[in-house]
Structures are given as C-alpha cells and as structure tokens.
Chains A and B, each alone.
Chain A
Amino acid sequence: MKKYFKYISAFALVAIAAMSLTSCGEKSLGETIFPDVTDELDPNSYTYKFDKWLQQNYLNEYNLDFQYKLQDNETNMNYNLEPATLTNSIDLAVLAKYMWFDVYEEVSGSKEFVKMYGPRILMLVGSPAINPQTGTIIVGLAEGGIKVTLLHVNSMNPLNIYGLNSDYFHTMHHEFTHILHQTKSIPREFQLISLGRYDALNWQDRNAGVVHSLGFVTPYGSSEIREDFAEICANYITLTDEQWARVWLEAGRGYATDGDEDSEEMSNLTYYCFYYFENNDASTDENKKYLGENNVVENEDGTYIYKNMYQRGVAPITQGEDGQYYDAKGVRCDDSGFVLDANGNRVPIQVFPVEDKDGVDGVAVLVRPTMLPSSTSSVSRFMAFSNV
C-alpha cells in the first residue's frame, strides 16, 4: 500500500506541477502605455517650411526620414561629432534630391528603383568622424540596408561644384551602393577578382597610383571587397572623363620608391613611375634616379626624355685644337659642357618607365569585363577608357 501511495503521490506531484505551469490564464494586452503622437507639422515651427518640403519630397515620395537634427544615440559615441547647420542641411536636402534621387529615378525610369533599394533614413552630421588612432576620416556610412549617414556637412560649399562632387555626391553614390549590396549580394565573381590584394588595416597609407596599378580605383577601395565595389560605382558616376583617363593611365604603370617601404611612415613615401641614369651611366644602380611624371616628355616613338634637361659631358671639358669642346671621354660638348649630337644639338636625358612588377594588369582588373553585363552602357564607357 505504501508503495502505491508513493506512486499516487508522485502522480499528484506531477499533476500539480503541470497545473501550475498551465493554469495562468491569458491576459488581455490592454491599451498602449504610449501617448498619442501626432506627425502633423507645427506651422509655427522655425523649420516648418523645410520640414514640409522634406515631408513632401522625401517622406511622401520615398518613405524616407530625412534626419537633420542630430541625436547622439544615432551615432558612434567613440567619435567627436557635431550637428549639421540648418543652412547646410537645407542645401544638402535639395542637392541630394536633385543630384541623387531624381537622377536615379530618371535613369531607372521610375521611383520604384529608389523606393526598393534606397535608404529609409538619411541622417546628416556636421563634422567628419575622425579616428584619432589611424587618422582615417569617415564621411559617409550605410547601415542595415536602410540608413545612410552623410557626414562632414558643415564644410559643404554649394558653390564649389568640384568639392560637392568629390566630397558629397561621391559619398551619396558610395553609400547607396552599400545599401544596394546590403539588399542584393555582391556577385561572387566580383569578390574573386582582387582577392588577396586588399589591405583593411593600412589602406590609408597606400599610394593612389600604386592601388590603381593593382586594379583599384582608390586606396579606400583597396581596403575590402564591399568598399571596392562601392568605390567603383561612386567613382564611375562622379569622376570626369579626364579623371578616369588619369586612373587608367596610372593603372598601366609600374611604381617604385626611393624610400623605405617597410617603414611605419608609408603614407609619407613618394612613388615614381620613371627613372633616368645620372651621367647617362647605367653601369650601376646607384646612378638610378627617380623622377615625377611632370618632368617627363613622351616622344612619338614611345620613348621618354627628361623635360628641358640635357646630358652633361664628363668633366673636365676642354677645347680641342679644332676649336670644339670635348669631355674627358672625348665626347663633343658645347662650351657649357652639354653633350652635343651629330647635328650640334644638345642630347636629351633618356628616361625609362619603372617596370610594373606587382603582377597585376591594373587596367584589365579595372575593366573587369567578366563582371559587366554587355547590355549596360557602363561597358562601353569602361572599354572606351581601357583604350586610352
């Protein structure tokens, strides 16, 4: 009996426990604890006209919240940041609409593209976000596929088209591209193109020409795949033909520095694409001197010479019995010691391009023909520049 009672008790225990877990009835949620909040604009507000314009042009059109009033909790607290000025916020709101949203609408043929892939929040910050450790500056951010932050707004000069293009429109298209790939993944093929050549930690120290020759459009683009992708799109839209031509030109060159590439001050190194031999003596590397492109002239036959510089004879220069001047090696010179050719003209200093040793065909990588659908106009533009 005792044994049965034990079983009965155990059953009762389980039953009570089950009841205790299930017997609490479902409760009604009741009314919200939050007070009613109106989204109607106050006509007496200092910013009523601007807020109305934002409502009409961003909120109603794109379901986009244009946040020009900064709140700390919307930012990275590790940075010192300032809010945007109201004046620049108004200017940027209009410019972003005209130079970004309206352009995308015009190119895509409707608002749907921006509605589908565009941000839902556009936030302005007056200052850039500067990392005191690396010195890198953040001028734009894209988060979660919905929010774009444009920083550095207080430095904007609406009358400086070049500054607007490089500092603000570039950022808009860059961040839009992030929002886009946060919604639609970057094609796998793209991710493989420059794999192994990214440098997430030291990109800021990389030279622009050097990264062009590696197939990146900017040093920042060489930091990681998604930045590479965003930089290509942003630069494709905002660079002028001349600027693109420059990128292509530099992408085809080799680079060398006479500084120490292993030093921690990489950002201070100067890179050169050309060199010549002092005294025209190529017998030793010590005579090899690098020079910048501005000092180089390309001949019709594709060779290069040092602009306005001529070979000097080896001292001493002496006058021969024929009345002509000769250097120590018996080469004919003028009375100033410059070597003369058979026609009596000074001989230019020959310049050589630095050999491209990075193992990357920068131009080919920049074109990335495998990635670009042949039906898009971008192909023709990329290909056109590839022939520069």
Chain B
Amino acid sequence: MKKLFNISALILMLSLVACAPSEVDDIFGESPAERLDNAVKNYTELLKADGGRWLMEYFANGDEEGYNFIMTFHNDGSVDISTQNAYVNDGAFYSDRSLWEVVSDYGPVLSFNTYNRAFHVFSSPQSDGSGHEGDYEFMILGADENTMHLRGKKSRDKGVVIDMVMRRLSSTDYPTDEDYFNELTTVRKNAFSDRINNYVLTTGSGKRYICNDVTTMLWSFYPEGGSLLDNGEYMNAIITNKGIRFMEPLNFLTEYNEEDIAAQDFEFQEDGSLLCTEDGVTKITGPALADLFHQTQLGWMFGTAEGEMGGQFLSIYNAIVTEAKAKYKTTFNWLQLGYDPAKALYRLYFKNGKYNGSIYMTHEIVDGNTLKFSFDPSAENAFDNNGKSHYNNLESMRAMVALLCSTEFTLTASHAMVANPMTMTSKSNSGDFVVLKF
C-alpha cells in the first residue's frame, strides 16, 4: 500500500515538473540562427577589412607539403588568389579571380565556390578520379583582427582534420603578391639544403630528434640513437616567410618525453635556426658541424677567395699552386676534403689542369665542433696514383697534410641550419684557418 502511495506521489511531482514553463532565458540574447547570421556577417566584414589581403597556409592532405595562397577579398564578392607552386602554371607565379562567400553551413563557412585556376587544382580529380583531395570550403573556427583559423570542411566529413591558418598580409611589406612569393623563394632556398642530412630537433629537456626530408616539407623524425624504421614519425609542413608550420602538432614529442610539449609553429631566428613559438624552447638546427663535415655526400672545397684562408693554410696552398706549376706545367685548381664513394674512404682530394688525385686521410670527431685528422703514408690505401705522385713530388702537398694532422681543428658557421660555408680553425693557432664550402 505504501508502495502504491509513493508511486502516486512521484507521478504527481513529475507531472508538476512537466507542466512547469519550459521556456528558459536565452543566455545569448539572440537565437542560434541570428547568432550564426551575425557571425557570417562579421567574418565577411573581417575578411574584407583593411584591403582584404590575407595569406592562407593551405594543406590539401597529410601526404604533401602545404601551399601558400595570397587572397584579396573584394567587396563585390570576388577574390584574387595568387600562388607559386609546382602544380599551377608550371611553378611560375600565377593569379586568378573567382568568387568567395561566407555561408551558413557547419557554422560560418568560407567558400571559394567558383573555379579559380590558382587554387582549385587541389580539389580537382585526376583522370582516374583520385586527386589531392584538397578543400575549397573551410569552417571558420575563430578569428581575431589579423588571424583566422580554418578547418577543411570536406576533409572533416571524411574523418580527416586539417586545420589551417590565414594571416592578414601587409601591403606595406609586400606591395604586390609577387613580392611575397619572391621572398618566399629566397627564404626557401636559404633555409635548408637538400644536400644536408640529419637536421636536429632539440626539446627543452635536451632530447634530440633527427629530422630528414626537410626541403620537401615532408619531414621525418626519429629519436637520436633510434632509427626511422623503428621509431619513425612523419609530419608534413608548410614554409612561409616567417618559418614553418606543421600540419598538426608534433604530439610524438610529448609521447617520448613524457612531458607536455606543444610544437607546431616554428619561426626563423637570426642564425637561421627554427624556434617553436608555442613553447619558446624547442628548436630545429642543422647537424653538429663535425657531424656535417662527416656526411659522405658532401665535399668541402677550400675557399680560395681573399680572406678565406689564413696563416699556414694560405702560405702552403700558395706553395702548392707554385710547385704544381713548376713540376707539372699546369694550373692547380682546387683542394677538397671529402668522401670517396668508390673507395669508401675520406680523402684530401685535389685537381689541377692535368690530374686529379686523392690522399686518403682519416678524421676523428673529437666533439660536436672539433675534428682531428691523421694520415699514414705507409698504409695500403694511403693514395691513388696521382695522389702518391703529388705527395712525393710536392713538398707543399706534404706540408698541407702535415698541417692538417698537426693539431685539432674547430669548426664554426654563422648559419645554424645550413652551415655552408663553415670555417675550420687550428686549435693551436687561430691564425691558421680555411673556409670550407660544399
């Protein structure tokens, strides 16, 4: 009986609750539709404001580099889009006009809804139906006066999150779009070298990761001491005039370091290195100079221009030139320290008008920036034929080998990413130096 009474009371209470006014105060003061409509209007005005010129850092997918587009949004609904990449106009600068609109869709969406030859190639199908799978509609995630955060809409529908950034571009710094892309070409050329392997990412705690494939912007990473096969991570990136931005944060850094590291945006520093803007400490540089010297794909030429050699390096080099002329009746061309792939040995390599030859020296990496050379003329592989003849016949050549083996050398470079040129200076006498270039 009591149970029946309780149930009756409960139903009575529920009925009272159900009949209570269901209207609640609108905490926004506007309906959702009105708020969306206002957002569309506000973003439309923001895009057009101050000349309406923006730089879009665009990713079509996770398997290729990002591309820069400069977009000028006009009041009449048209947009000028310019770019310079391999897929448009054979890689030359190109600009085209089409239409744009901020529409109400998944929230406010920026849509480039008529074909633009500079832009839509990344959405187009190839003859077999495949393609770059790139977006031309972007959910607007948020914005301030000079930055807009976007997410590819179609990609998102396919389960792939591609977030992109648009930044307002100054007409003072870049009067024309072409100015920006010209600068970008220069930055790109100087920022990295495709001849250098094993760039280094260093976290705040000092953990280091080896980075490769950086010039293609399809970066690979593995912890120093590990291997790409066992611990490899990959992330595509875009290069801008300010630095690089990875398509996604490098979350594997957090995983391996067991500390929270947010790293996605990196800015170029004065020395050419890249510093993470999110944490201010994670850094990307070229390999240690001694490691770079040791890389087998590089041959380090002795600099012969004024000021590129000093002390004994200069005097001995000049003596080699003179002696070679006297002995072989030919002009001495150059000296190089590097790797002979045919014999798999490091060498002092020379060339004159008639001959080239190798004197196979070894070197030891003392520390990150210090080298020590050694040479044993009685060793089986000490020379090739021309190397032996020059070593035996030219006193100055023997002197150069002796100089190199006489002491340790310190390597220095002004560019932290592309150490070309770098200077090799005697630890015994700082006046003995030579500039090396690959």
Q: Which of A's residues lie within 8 Å of B, judged by CB?
A: 2, 5-6, 9-10, 12-13, 16-17, 19-20, 23-25, 27, 33-35, 42, 44-47, 68-73, 77, 79-86, 89, 126-132, 135, 154
Instruction: Tell me the count of chain B residues lying within 8 A, CB to CB, of chain A.
Output: 50
* Contact between A35 and B114, CB atoms less than 8 A apart: no
Q: What are the residues of chain A within 8 A of B277 when measuring CB–CB?
A: none
Minimum CB distance partner of B96 in chain A: A85
Most-contacted residue by chain B among A20, A129, A154 (CB, 10 A): A20
Contact between B12 and A16, CB atoms less than 8 A apart? yes
Specify the chain B residue showing the minimal Cβ separation from A73.
Answer: B105
Docked-complex contact A83 and B136, CB < 8 angstroms: yes
A9 touches B4 (CB 8 A): yes
Do A33 and B34 form a contact, CB below 8 Å, given A70-B113, A84-B114, A130-B125? yes
Residues of A within 8 A of B75 (CB): 44
Contact B77 A45 (CB under 8 A): yes
A77 touches B154 (CB 8 A): yes
Cross-chain contact of A46 among B78, B131, B153 (Cβ < 8 A): B78
For B115, give its contact among A45, A73, A83 (CB under 8 Å): A83
Known: A17-B15, A23-B15, A82-B120. 6 other contacts (CB 8 A): A20-B19, A69-B111, A82-B123, A83-B115, A126-B124, A127-B125
Whether B8 lies near A16 (C-beta < 8 A) is yes
A84 to B123 CA separation, bound complex (whole angstroms):
12
Q: Which residues of B contact A9 (CB under 8 A)?
A: 1, 4-5, 8
In the complex with contacts A80-B124, A128-B125, A86-B114 CB distance below 8 A = yes
Would you list which residues of chain B between 18 and 39 have a CB under 8 Å from chain A? 18-19, 22, 31-34, 37
Residues of chain B having any CB pair with chain A under 8 Å: 1, 4-5, 7-8, 11-12, 14-15, 18-19, 22, 31-34, 37, 74-78, 98-99, 101, 103, 105, 111-115, 120, 123-133, 136-137, 153-154, 157-158
Chain A CB count within 10 A is highest, among B75, B103, B111, B113, for B113
Whether the Cβ atoms of A85 and B15 lie closer than 8 Å is: no
Measured between C-beta atoms, what is the minimum distance from A234 to chain B in Å?
24
* Closest A-B pairs by Cβ, 10 of them: A20-B15, A130-B129, A33-B31, A132-B129, A69-B113, A80-B125, A80-B131, A46-B76, A46-B78, A85-B115
Chain B hits for A84, CB < 8 A? 114-115
CA distance A42 to B103 in the complex (A): 16
Provide the bound-state CA to CA distance between A129 and B130, in Å: 10
Q: How many A-B residue pairs have CB under 8 A?
A: 133
- Whether B113 pairs with A44 at a CB distance below 8 angstroms is no
Residues of chain B lying within 8 A (CB to CB) of residue A16: 8, 11-12, 15
Residues of chain B within 8 A of A129, CB atoms compared: 125, 129
Closest to B38 in A: A35
Instruction: Name B114's contact: one of A5, A20, A80, A83 (CB within 8 Å).
Output: A83
Do the beta carbons of B114 and A85 come within 8 Å of each other? Answer: yes
Which chain A residue shows the least CB distance to B125? A80
Q: Which residues of A contact B76 (CB under 8 A)?
A: 44-46
Nearest Cβ on chain B to A165's Cβ, whole angstroms: 23
Q: A23-B19, A77-B157, A82-B120 are in contact. Are A46 and B34 (CB under 8 A)?
A: no
| Alpha-carbon distance between A128 and B114 when the two chains are bound, in angstroms | 15
Report the Cα distance A318→B128, complex, angstroms: 59
Cβ–Cβ contact B127 & A130, under 8 A: yes
Which residues on the A side are within 8 Å of B77 (C-beta)?
Answer: 42, 45-47
Whole-angstrom distance between the Cβ of B11 and the nearest chain A Cβ: 5
Knowing A46-B78, A69-B99, A70-B114, say if A33 contacts B15 (CB, 8 Å): no
Question: In the complex, are the beta carbons of A17 and B11 less than 8 A apart?
Answer: yes
Q: Which residues of A contact B123 (CB under 8 A)?
A: 80-82
Chain B residue nearest to A25 (CB atoms) is: B19
Chain B nearest CB from A375 CB (Å) reads: 45
**A266 CB to nearest chain B CB (Å):** 18
- Cβ–Cβ contact B4 & A72, under 8 A: no
Other-chain residue from B7, B114, B126, B154 in contact with A69 (beta carbon distance below 8 A)? B114
Task: Given the known inter-chain contacts A19-B15, A126-B120, please indicate yes or no for A35 contacting B125, CB distance below 8 A.
Answer: no
Q: Is B137 in contact with A72, judged by CB distance below 8 angstroms?
A: yes
27 contacts between A and B (CB under 8 A): A6-B4, A9-B4, A9-B5, A19-B15, A20-B11, A20-B12, A25-B19, A33-B32, A35-B33, A44-B75, A45-B76, A46-B77, A47-B77, A69-B114, A72-B137, A72-B153, A72-B157, A79-B125, A81-B123, A82-B115, A82-B123, A82-B136, A83-B112, A83-B115, A86-B98, A86-B115, A132-B128
